Structure 1
Amino acid sequence: MAIVPVFPFICYLVNEDIDVTVAEIQIILNLVTLRATSSMENNYGIAAALKMSENLSVALSHMLLAGTGIYCLIQIKDDSVFLPHATFGIITVHNIIAVWRWGSDQGLRVNDIYNFTSYTQLLFALPCITTTLWLANGYQREISWAWAIVPMIPFVCYLINDFDMTLIEIMVLLNSAAVGAVSFKAGNNFGIAAAVAYAISHFCINRFVVYNCGLCFFAYFSLRALGYGG
C-alpha cells in the first residue's frame, strides 16, 4: 500500500498532469486499510477481553467448589472413616490449584499439576462416597471397598500414559447407579440427590462453570447423605 503513492509523485516530478481520480483512489485505499487494521485490533481486543472474562468465571467457580470442599472437610473432621476425607480433600486441593490455573496470568505453569488433580478428582471423588455409603448400610466389606479400589486401575493407566476415557465413563455410570440404588433402598434422599447431581454434571454439562456448580451440589448432598451438615 505504501508503494501506490509513488506513481502520482513521479508524475508530479515530471510535470505531468495528475488525474484527480488517482489521488482520490489513494485516499480511499488508505482509509480502507486504516479501517481494516483498526477493525482487526478491535476484534482482537474484544476476543482477549472475552477470554479473560471467561477464565475469571471459571476461576470463581473453582473457588466456590474449593470452599464447598473445605466446608465439608470441617464438618466431617471427627469421622473415623477416611474415605469422605479423601473425597472432599481431593476436591479442595484440585480446585485450589484450579483457581491459580484459570485466575492467574502464570496459570499455565501449573497446567500439568492441574490435569493430574483433575483426573484424580474424576476417578476418586464419587467412588469414595459410594464405598462409604455401602459400608454405612451394612453391605459386605469386600464389595463395598471394591468401589474405591477399582479406580486405581485407570489411575495406574494414566500414570503410564494409557488413558481410557471409556472405562472412566462406565465407572462413573456404575458408581452413580450404586449410590442412587443404596440411597433409594435406605430412604436416603440426599444420597439420591448426590448421585443425580454428579451424573448430570458429568454426562450432561460441558461448561466448566456449570459443571463446578453441579459438583458443589454433589459435595453438599454427599455430606448430608453421610449424616453431617444438618
Structure 2
Amino acid sequence: MSTSYSTALSHIILAGTGIYCLIGSKHFGQKFFPRGSFGIIILHSAIGIWRWGNPSYGQKAAKLYKLTSLLQDLIALPCIVTTIWLSYGYMWQIAYAYTLASLFPLVAYMCDHNNIDNEMTDVVIGANCISLGVLAFIHQNYFGVAASISYAFTHFVIKNDNETYFNITSQDLYNYAMCFFAFFALKTVLD
C-alpha cells in the first residue's frame, strides 16, 4: 500500500461530513451515541488522511488505520441503532445490546492476534442493518431506512477490498458511500 492522494481526499470529504453531522447531532440532547458514531467516523478519517496523504510516514499508521477501520465498521451503525431504539421508547437493555454485541468482533480481533473475523463482523452489521431498517420503517422514519440501505450497500456491495470500479478504488467509493450513511444517520436521529 502506497500513497494515494485521491483516497486522502475522500477521507477529507468524509471527515467534513462527519464534522457536519457531529455539529448537527448536538441538537439531540443528552444521548451520546450519535456523537460516538460520528466521532469514530471523524477519527478514522483523520487517520486515513495521514495514512494515505503522507508519502514519508503514512505507512507507519497502517496498523492503526486498520484498527480504526474496524472500529468504524463496528461502532458507527450500532450507535445509531441504539439511539433509534431509545428514541422510540423501547427497553434500554435491548437498545444497549446492539452496541455491546457489536464489540464481540473487536474482542475477537484483539484476542486473535489482529486477525479479522469477517463472518462475525458481517453478522453483526447485517443484524444492525435489518434492525434499523425494520424499526425505522415501522415508525415511518424513512431516513432510517435510507441509512440502513446505504450502510448495507457500503459494507456488503462496495466493501473495502482493494478493487477498482471505473478507475476508482473501492476505498474511495466506500468513503463516499459512508458520507451518505452519515448524512442519513443524522437525519434519522433528528427525525
| Match runs of 1:151-170 below 5 Å | 151-160=102-111, 161=113, 163-170=116-123
SS for the counterpart of 1:63 is helix
What is the percent sequence identity of the aligned residues? Answer: 41
Q: Name the Cα RMSD after superposition.
A: 1.4
State the partner residue of 1:210. 173
State the partner residue of 1:226. 189
Post-superposition shift, 1:165?
A: 1.1
- Hey, what's the Cα distance between the residues in 1 that align with 2:146 and 2:76? 15
State the partner residue of 2:167. none
Aligned partner letter, 2:155: H
Write the deviation string for residues 88-139 of structure 1: whole angstroms up to 9, x where unpaired: 0000011011011011112101111111111111111101101100111111
State the partner residue of 1:74. 23
SS for the counterpart of 1:139 is coil
| Match runs of 1:4-83 below 5 Å | 55-78=4-27, 79-83=29-33
Unaligned runs of 5+ in 2: 160-169
Aligned partner letter, 2:78: P
State the partner residue of 2:140. 187
2:48 to 76, 85, 98: 98
- 2:79–2:99 CA contact under 8 A, matched in 1: yes
State the partner residue of 1:133. 84
Which one has the largest radius of gyration? 1
SS for the counterpart of 1:187 is coil
**Counterpart check, 1:84 vs 2:47:** no
TM-score, normalised relative to structure 2:
0.88
Aligned partner letter, 1:60: L
The number of residues matched between the two structures is: 176
- Hey, what's the Cα distance between the residues in 2 that align with 1:177 and 1:152? 18
- 2:15–2:45 CA contact under 8 A, matched in 1: yes
Q: Which has the higher contact order (CA 8 A, sep 6+)?
A: 2
Aligned partner letter, 1:213: Y
2:125 to 172, 195, 216: 172
SS for the counterpart of 1:226 is helix
- 2:25–2:190 CA contact under 8 A, matched in 1: no
State the partner residue of 2:164. none
TM-score, normalised relative to structure 1:
0.74
- Hey, what's the Cα distance between the residues in 2 that align with 1:96 and 1:142? 33
**Counterpart check, 1:118 vs 2:69:** yes
- Hey, what's the Cα distance between the residues in 1 that align with 2:190 and 2:116? 36
Write the deviation string for residues 151-172 of structure 1: whole angstroms up to 9, x where unpaired: 2221111112253110100111
Runs of 4+ aligned residues of structure 1 deviating over 4 Å after TM superposition are: none
Unaligned runs of 5+ in 1: 1-50
